[in-house]
Amino acid sequence: MTTTPQEITRLLVVDDDALVREAYRVFFGRAPDLELVGEARNGTEAIEAYATLRPDLVLMDLQMPGCSGIEATTRICSRWSDACVVALTTFGTREYIVAALRAGASGYLLKDTGAQNLIAGIRQAVRGDMPMSSSVRRQLVDSVKSDTAIAPEPVDIGLTPRETELLGWLAQGLTNHQIGREMFVSEGSVKQYLTHIGDKMGVKSRTQILVRSIQLHIVDPHVLPRSTAVGG
């Protein structure tokens, strides 16, 4: 029986602390499906390294001298629309979270997340999911809900019942695979649903879809979605 070769995820690590970079070097050297292909000490080096290496994912520290992680994320995601940047930082305050996600980050993890959660988050981001530490997700939701621009009543943008249900599961923090299990559809179908929803909202990323669905009062993150028996 033949086996399928394991797909390797190429990583670029950005952190101004040499000891942190060394720890990542050792850590990822032990992961069979992860390869550390580059390191950068600040945002400027990160942009240059990304242009040269075109990694599958960037782990981005946020507070660095000179060009910050927020600025580097903005410039990378603006120049390369398919870039996947995950913030990995000690700062879990609302200000940093909102700034990083607005810059285009595909996820936001705290450095104390733990080894297994870090690897799981990397794999989620590469699959198109939105890895977030639980405290970060709460901060994001609270930030959006306190936004004065949030609609007082649900806004009708032409979503089907199935699309609305999917947004409900997304707001609960489920991955695409987990949403598929709840809705009895494939992970590929979930991605197609998200694409259609994003088109209707005029946004693209999972983060933007989540934020916009809360702003439009389409979902309440504190309420479980109602299952739909018939596809829409």
- For residue 144, the model assigns a pLDDT of 74
| Domain C-terminal end among 93, 123, 143 | 143
Residue whose entry in the numeric block shows the structure tokens 């309440």 = 220
Nearest-angstrom CA–CA distance, 65 and 29: 27
Same domain, 98 and 160: no
**Cβ density class 16-27: b for 16+ within 10 Å, e for less:** beeeebeebeee
In a domain, 41, yes or no: yes
CATH at 191:
1.10.10.10
Same domain, 52 and 135: yes
Nearest-angstrom CA–CA distance, 56 and 10: 5
Same domain, 126 and 19: yes
Residue whose entry in the numeric block shows the structure tokens 């989620």 = 124
Rounded average pLDDT per 10-residue block, the chain, 232 residues: 67 97 94 95 98 98 95 96 94 88 90 91 90 82 69 88 94 88 94 94 83 87 76 46
Same domain, 97 and 36: yes
CB 151 within 8 A of CB 215: yes
Structural domain tally of the chain? 2
- For residue 230, the model assigns a pLDDT of 53
- For residue 211, the model assigns a pLDDT of 84
Nearest-angstrom CA–CA distance, 165 and 227: 6
Domain span at residue 62?
9-143
Same domain, 47 and 118: yes
- For residue 33, the model assigns a pLDDT of 92
Same domain, 137 and 202: no
Residue 197 corresponds to which tokens in the numbers above? 């929803």
CB 13 within 8 A of CB 21: yes
CB 213 within 8 A of CB 203: no
Q: What is the CA 113 to chain-centroid distance, rounded?
A: 15
**Of 104, 100, 116, 76, which Cα lies nearest the Cα of 208?**
104
Same domain, 54 and 139: yes
Same domain, 28 and 122: yes
Same domain, 135 and 168: no
In a domain, 232, yes or no: no
| Domain C-terminal end among 143, 161, 191 | 143
In a domain, 226, yes or no: no
Nearest-angstrom CA–CA distance, 47 and 14: 10
pTM here is: 0.77
- For residue 218, the model assigns a pLDDT of 92
CATH at 43:
3.40.50.2300
Same domain, 81 and 20: yes
CB 43 within 8 A of CB 81: no
- For residue 148, the model assigns a pLDDT of 55
In a domain, 111, yes or no: yes
**DSSP strands (E only) in the chain:** 9-14, 34-40, 57-60, 85-89, 107-110
Using a 10 angstrom Cβ sphere, with 0-12 exposed, 13-18 middle and 19 or more buried, the burial of residue 103 is buried
CB 69 within 8 A of CB 39: no
Residue 154 phi/psi, 5° resolution?
-55, 135
